[in-house]
Structure 1
Amino acid sequence: MLYPELFKQLESVRWDMDKDIPWDKFDAALLTEEQAQTVKMNAITEWAALPATEMFLRDNRNDSDFSAFMSIWFFEEQKHSLVLMEYLRRFRPDLVPTEEELHQIRFEFDPAPALETLMLHFCGEIRLNHWYRRAAEWHTEPVIREIYQTLSQDEARHGGAYLRYMKRAIQNFGNEAKAAFAKVGVLMASARRTAQALHPTNLHVNKALFPRDTIQSRLPDPEWLEHWLDKQIEFDASWEGKVVERILHNMSLLMDRSFKTVQELNRYRKELQASLGQAGGEPQPA
């Protein structure tokens, strides 16, 4: 089992909200209105760990090890929402999300293949790590800069934990797991070809609720994410390139084969599909 080791590892680096966040360094003159509004939106978005955990537990009922790990992931992701709300409670109480605003993003996700979902969230952790690093640079107020830096490090550790479960899946399921990971990897490393930000909170997950079946579509401002990325933190091609590089690097480690480009990973995906007798069309965004 991976859970006991991951518990010990993540417990050893867990930060304390009261002791490790420099609340006393807050400078009101350095917090703009638009920056404060983005903190609220991210606080609500992080609350999506709740429906995601319900999905993971439902779709991994046969995997008690991974389900136990969800207790760590869920706790730390909800803590992200909590620390952002605490920042607002202390310094912009008028912007603290209401319980109803938080509850709006709790809805059921349609069942999906567990291996593909695992890879999707692994890539999501990589992307969010980079988004938060960029957000820390964009903000001017020192406390929220420190918070985003802290959250980005958590997301990187979560990605590392997911990677451990992906390695285990390859040991258990071989090419079936590799094909699932390569399929989603090609999609998530191809953000430049899509009009939407490729992150689990921005993908459609419930056909019955379409088009309000993404986390972002149920925020108080559904257009917020694209504006935050493009106009505010300016997550440009160079930053997107860093995300793609990390996805390809980790795919290379997983598959024991070097991938320098998405095209190389896509060719490998087609090889795997051919060996499994599957159709080899291009992966499409959900």
Structure 2
Amino acid sequence: MLYPELFKSLESARWNMSTDIPWDQFERDRISDEQLRTIKMNAVTEWSALPATEMFLRDNRDDSDFCAFMSIWFYEEQKHALVLMDYLQRFAPDYVPSEEELHKVRFEFDPAPALETLMLHFCGEIRLTHWYKRAAQWHTEPVIRVIYETLSKDEARHAGIYLKYMRRAIERHGDEARLAFARIGVLMANTKTAKALHPTNLHVSKARYPEDSVQSQLPDPGWLEQWLDTQIHFDDIWEQKVINGILRNLSTLLDTPLQNAKDLSRYRRAMVARMGGGAENSQQAAG
């Protein structure tokens, strides 16, 4: 089992919301209404760990080890929402999201293949690591900068743990797992399609279409693109950092050099050929 050691490592890295955030260093003249709105949107987005956890527990009923890890992941992700809301409650209470706004992002996700979902969230954690690094740089108020830096480190740790479960999946499922990870990786590492691609803005409920993503349920559904493009300026250089992180980790995981999405696409095609053409079709049908 991975959970016992993961619990110890995450417990040792855990930060305290009361003592590790320098609340007394707040500078009111260095925070704007525009920035406060983005903090609210991030808080609501982080709250969506609730339906994601419900999805993971449902779709991984046969994996108690991974579901046990969800207890930590869920706690830490909800803590992210809480620390952002605490910031707003202390310094700008008019921007604290309402319980109704928080509850709106909780809806049932459609069942999905566990391996592909694992890979999606691994990529999502890498992306959030860099989004929050950039957000910390964009903000000018000292306390919120520390908060975003803290969240970024948490997301990086989560990515590392998802990678451990991906490695275990390859040990258990072999080429089926390799193909699942490569298939999602091609999408996530393609510069033409990857920008803003994160589990919270993917279509996850056919019955709710077109309002079938977490982002569509936010108080401002168009917030994410504005945040990335015109506020934190998550440009091509930062996007490449995300893609490089995905490819670097997949190169080690799959034991093959991957310099770009084309390399990964070739790897995927080779896996399909090795497993027989029906393998990709069956995975696509499952997705």
Q: TM-score, normalised by structure 1?
A: 0.97
- Tell me which residue corresponds to 1:276: 275
Displacement after TM superposition at 1:278 (Å): 3.2
Question: Does structure 2 retain, via aligned residues, the 8 Å contact 1:196–1:202?
Answer: no
2:101 matched to 1:101? yes
State how far apart, in whole Å, the 1-side matches of 2:136 and 2:265 are: 33
Partner letter of residue 181 of structure 1?
A: F
Displacement after TM superposition at 1:87 (Å): 0.2
- Tell me which residue corresponds to 1:23: 23
Structure 2 gap segments, 5+ residues each: none
Residues 100-158 of structure 1: CA deviation (Å, up to 9, x unaligned): 00000000000000000000000000000000000000000000000000000000000
Residues 186-221 of structure 1: CA deviation (Å, up to 9, x unaligned): 11111x323861000010000000011111100010
- Tell me which residue corresponds to 1:8: 8
Residues 82-105 of structure 1: CA deviation (Å, up to 9, x unaligned): 000000000000000000000000
* Runs of 4 or more consecutive aligned structure 1 residues displaced over 2 Å after TM superposition: 278-281
Partner letter of residue 214 of structure 1?
A: S
**Secondary structure at the counterpart of residue 19 of structure 1:** coil
State how far apart, in whole Å, the 1-side matches of 2:270 and 2:141 are: 50
- Give RMSD over aligned pairs: 1.3
Alignment of 1:57-68 (within 5 A): 57-68=57-68
- Tell me which residue corresponds to 1:36: 36
Partner letter of residue 221 of structure 1?
A: D
Residues 52-72 of structure 1: CA deviation (Å, up to 9, x unaligned): 000000000000000000000
Question: Does structure 2 retain, via aligned residues, the 8 Å contact 1:48–1:105?
Answer: yes
- Tell me which residue corresponds to 1:217: 216
Question: Does structure 1 retain, via aligned residues, the 8 Å contact 2:247–2:260?
Answer: yes
Identity %: 67
State how far apart, in whole Å, the 2-side matches of 1:111 and 1:28 are: 45
Partner letter of residue 274 of structure 1?
A: A
Q: TM-score, normalised by structure 2?
A: 0.96
Question: Does structure 2 retain, via aligned residues, the 8 Å contact 1:49–1:77?
Answer: yes
State how far apart, in whole Å, the 1-side matches of 2:161 and 2:176 are: 20
State how far apart, in whole Å, the 1-side matches of 2:121 and 2:18 are: 29
Question: Does structure 1 retain, via aligned residues, the 8 Å contact 2:187–2:194?
Answer: no
State how far apart, in whole Å, the 2-side matches of 1:181 and 1:129 are: 20
State how far apart, in whole Å, the 2-side matches of 1:194 and 1:270 are: 19
Alignment of 1:73-88 (within 5 A): 73-88=73-88
Partner letter of residue 63 of structure 2?
A: D
User: How many residues were matched structurally?
Assistant: 282
State how far apart, in whole Å, the 2-side matches of 1:189 and 1:84 are: 29
- Tell me which residue corresponds to 2:263: 264
State how far apart, in whole Å, the 2-side matches of 1:174 and 1:35 are: 46
Displacement after TM superposition at 1:175 (Å): 0.5
Question: Does structure 1 retain, via aligned residues, the 8 Å contact 2:189–2:260?
Answer: no
Question: Does structure 2 retain, via aligned residues, the 8 Å contact 1:196–1:226?
Answer: no
Partner letter of residue 85 of structure 1?
A: M
Over 3 Å counting, the alpha-carbon distance change for 1:125 and 1:180 in structure 2 is same
